[in-house]
RNA sequence: GCCGCCUUAGCUCAGUUGGUUAGAGCGCCAGAUUGUGGCUCUGGAGGUCCUCAGUUCGAACCUGAGAGGUGGUACCA
């Protein structure tokens, strides 16, 4: 079965993908378990859809024959139809909702999590495959539906390990800026989008940088020029005054926005929406420090039609080298009333929130909030001799039956290496059942944590070997109870 | 996508003006210690010097192209 002997494939993870081991997985699974419980409490049902979608259902990046993989991983099925791996969970939801609209309970509330794929240049903390977790309501245009998504996001992040004060949900409404721009005579959609992109960079570039981007454009330190939105001076100042209207309670912000935005129909609508969201949030018990109105939150996406949300981490974070790290947004969402209409032709209001699970886990780690417990290995049963394997498996069975993770060492190395193996697996204990013990009806159990602690004080090898720290020989019948005591500390 | 920097052992990195056999620390394996993870000592394994082409008597080192990584920037569902 070997190929040409000269060929040795290099074992490596594909670019932008990653292997995740027990330590990372347990944190991520814990987050998902906690968040799922919260989402279900809020009345959202679980949904899992396929990894592949027909490319036309994903919308924006339709593969054409020249560049079928732009942005997405796509392939052509044997019936020549283009299929693509989903790049988020919102587009598949829109497809699902459109497909089953007649039979769904409406409004349809669902949460989903799973891998999504993006075929683009990977960067640090930016992968081509990652786990996303979404909750959405389809079929309710009420601002209260947005408010509930916000409340759920706040509760979800808290359950995921970010207690109150470590994160804040910021919200805004697209209608406000749209109304402002319309009133200023900006009708062109491209120009509006350019304004949104410019505002989106406020936290990074500051008001002066954004001012340039709203106008002619901006040259950055590397000399690259970014074309601006081309607003006139009055328009620029109006937008800047609007985005600066944040701060203080939600009521304060609303009052300030009302001053700045100055009566366009769409703007007034946005204000009314936010006001109703505020009332609902108060009823839902979402405090002023948990969810704030922030006019500078726009989200770069085209498809948002009303409320937009962004969850921001308030903790100081450091990377592996101890350098300060800006994490910024750890989740976001908003209202997208036109997405389902792509399939049905009927405007179907929808709103949702999503976050990257690995990213949140990385944020928790960077903030030193990673759930402390390390991934523990099984109790390792030392294998002394071929002839006694049956005894070892008997012990493994007993421990497993008692709900204790256990395994018989199945390598071919000597005892020293076996102890090392148990050490490396972070096993709580090693069980020794050699010829002596079997003959005497006893078993020797070593508490590896205790042994490690005791070993730190021993410098002399003779003592170390003589004392056998953390180790006890007990009657065979006491094994399970003894091991359980070690594990439970 | 564009601009800068980087690429030598599993990891972190040395490597003289271009000169013979490319090193260190950590890690790994083994022994000292017939049945004990730590410490210490001893030994060992491990390298297409990112790839290809060129310059040269001779390239880890110089030149070019490409790949990968990284930092900005753009885009971001």
Digit-coded pLDDT (tens) for A221-261? 666 788 888 888 888 999 999 999 999 999 999 999 999 88
Q: Is it true that A22-51+86-185+231-366 and A379-488 share their CATH fold?
A: no
Residue A35 has pLDDT above 70, yes or no: yes
| Predicted confidence (pLDDT) at residue A62 exceeds the cutoff of 90 | no
- List pLDDT tens digits, range A389-425: 999 999 999 999 999 999 999 988 889 999 999 999 9
Cα distances (angstroms) measured from residue A486 to each of A32, A48, A286, A430, A464: 30, 40, 43, 11, 21
Percent of chain A at pLDDT exceeding 70: 92
Give the per-residue pLDDT at A2: 39
Contacts of A487 by beta carbon, 8 Å cutoff, 6+ apart: A379, A404, A428, A429
> On chain B, which bases lie within 7 A of the protein's CB atoms?
1-3, 28-31, 33-40, 48, 68-77
Residues 6+ apart with CB under 8 A from A36: A46, A111, A113
Å from the A85 CA to the B64 C1': 39
Measuring from the CA of residue A226 to each C1' atom, give the nucleotide at the shortest distance: B74
CA A309 – C1' B1 distance (Å)? 29
- Our measurement of CA A358 to C1' B25, in angstroms, reads 33
User: Helices in A42-121 by DSSP H: which ranges?
Assistant: 55-58, 90-100
The confidence band for A429, taking pLDDT boundaries of 50, 70 and 90, is very high
Q: Where are the domains of chain A?
A: 22-51+86-185+231-366, 379-488
Instruction: Report the DSSP pairing between strands A82-85 and A52-54.
Output: antiparallel
Report the pLDDT value the prediction gives residue A325, as an integer from 0 to 100: 65
| Residue A416 near residue A452 (C-beta atoms within 8 A) | no
Minimum-distance residue to B29 (CA–C1'): A417
CA of A325, C1' of B11: distance in angstroms: 23
CATH topology of domain A22-51+86-185+231-366: BirA Bifunctional Protein; domain 2 (3.30.930)
Angle of CA points A389, A392, A394, to nearest 5°: 110
Q: Which has the closest alpha carbon to A351: A201, A152, A167?
A: A152
DSSP H helical ranges for A285-408: 341-344, 357-366, 389-401
pLDDT for A361 equals: 86
Rounded distance between C-alpha atoms, residue A246 and residue A177, angstroms: 14
Determine the nucleotide nearest to A15 by Cα–C1' distance: B68
The count of C-alpha atoms lying within 13 angstroms of the C-alpha of A3, restricted to the half-sphere facing its C-beta, is: 4
Nucleotide nearest A436, CA–C1', reads B35
Please state which of the ranges A31-35, A37-41, A99-103, A193-197 shows the lowest mean pLDDT: A193-197
Percent helix / strand / coil, chain A, rounded to 5: 40, 20, 40
Which nucleotide has the least CA–C1' distance to A465?
Answer: B36
Q: CA–C1' span, A10 to B59, in Å?
A: 26
Instruction: Find the Å distance, CA of residue A328 to C1' of nucleotide B72.
Output: 17
β-pair type (A329-335, A350-356): antiparallel
Task: Classify A436 as helix, strand or coil.
Answer: helix
Burial of A278 (0-12, 13-18, 19+ CB in 10 A): buried
Nearest nucleotide to A434 (CA to C1') is: B35
Mean model confidence pLDDT for chain A = 88
Say if CB A465 and CB A424 are below 8 A apart.
no
Q: A340 φ, ψ to 5°?
A: -70, -30
State the nearest residue by CA to the C1' of B32: A461
pLDDT per residue as tens digits for the range A99-154:
999 999 999 999 999 999 988 888 777 888 899 999 999 999 999 999 999 999 99
Separation between the CA of A455 and the C1’ of B75 (whole angstroms): 55
Can the peptide bond before residue A107 be classed as cis, meaning omega within 30 degrees of 0? yes
Distance CA A172, CA A202 (A): 15
CATH homologous superfamily, domain A379-488: Anticodon-binding domain (3.40.50.800)
pLDDT tens digits, residue range A360-384?
888 887 777 776 556 789 999 999 9
- With CA of A471 and C1' of each nucleotide, the nearest comes out as B36
Cα(A423)–Cα(A56) distance, rounded to whole angstroms?
52
CA of A446 to C1' of B26 (A): 29
Sign, Cα dihedral of A22, A24, A28, A34: positive
Nucleotide nearest to A452 (CA to C1'): B38
- 8 A C-beta contact, residue A139 and residue A14: no
The C1' atom of B39 and the CA atom of A84 lie apart, in whole Å, by 56
Distance of alpha carbon A215 from alpha carbon A228, whole angstroms: 5
Query: Does an H or E element contain A206, and which?
Result: helix A202-214
């Amino acid at each position: 079965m070997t190929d040409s002997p000269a060929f040795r494939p290099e074992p490596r993870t594909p670019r932008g993908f990653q292997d995740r081991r027990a330590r990372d997985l347990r944190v991520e699974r814990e987050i998902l378990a906690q968040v799922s419980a919260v989402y279900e409490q809020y009345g959202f049902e679980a949904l899992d859809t396929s990894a592949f979608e027909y490319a036309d259902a994903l919308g924006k990046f339709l593969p054409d024959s020249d560049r079928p993989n732009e942005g997405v991983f796509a392939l052509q099925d044997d019936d020549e139809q283009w299929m693509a791996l989903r790049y988020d969970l919102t587009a598949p939801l829109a497809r699902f909702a459109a497909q089953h609209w007649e039979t769904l309970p409406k409004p349809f509330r669902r949460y989903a999590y799973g891998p999504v794929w993006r075929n683009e240049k990977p960067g640090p903390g930016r992968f081509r495959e990652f786990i996303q977790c979404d909750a959405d309501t389809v079929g309710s245009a009420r601002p209260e539906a947005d408010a509930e998504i916000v409340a759920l996001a706040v509760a979800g992040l808290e359950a995921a390990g970010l207690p109150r004060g470590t994160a804040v949900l910021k919200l805004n409404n697209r209608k406000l800026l749209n109304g402002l721009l319309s009133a200023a005579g900006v009708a062109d959609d491209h120009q509006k989008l350019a304004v949104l992109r410019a505002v989106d960079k406020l936290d990074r570039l500051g008001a002066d940088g954004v001012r340039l981007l709203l106008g002619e454009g901006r040259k950055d330190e590397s000399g690259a020029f970014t074309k601006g939105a081309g607003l006139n001076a009055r328009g620029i100042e109006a937008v800047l005054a609007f985005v600066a209207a944040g701060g203080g309670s939600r009521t304060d912000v609303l009052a300030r926005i009302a001053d700045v935005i100055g009566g366009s129909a769409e703007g007034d609508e946005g204000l009314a929406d936010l006001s109703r969201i505020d009332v609902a949030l108060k009823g839902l018990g979402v405090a002023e420090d948990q969810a704030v109105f922030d006019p500078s939150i726009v989200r770069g996406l085209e498809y948002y039609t009303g409320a937009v949300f962004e969850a921001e981490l308030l903790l100081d974070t450091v990377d592996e080298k101890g350098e300060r790290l800006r994490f910024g947004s750890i989740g976001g969402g908003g209202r997208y009333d036109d997405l389902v209409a792509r399939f049905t032709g009927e405007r179907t209001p929808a709103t949702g929130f999503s976050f990257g699970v690995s990213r949140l886990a990385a944020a928790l780690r960077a903030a030193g909030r990673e759930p402390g417990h390390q991934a523990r290995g099984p109790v390792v049963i030392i294998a002394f001799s071929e002839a006694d394997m049956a005894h070892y498996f008997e012990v493994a069975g007993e421990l497993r039956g008692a709900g204790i993770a256990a395994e018989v060492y199945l390598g071919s190395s000597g005892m020293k290496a076996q102890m090392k193996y148990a050490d490396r697996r972070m096993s709580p204990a090693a069980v020794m059942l050699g010829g002596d013990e079997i003959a005497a009806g006893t078993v020797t159990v070593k508490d590896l944590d205790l042994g490690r602690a005791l070993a730190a004080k021993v410098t002399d090898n003779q003592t170390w070997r003589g004392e056998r720290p953390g180790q006890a020989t007990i009657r065979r019948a006491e094994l399970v109870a003894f091991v359980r005591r070690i594990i439970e500390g």
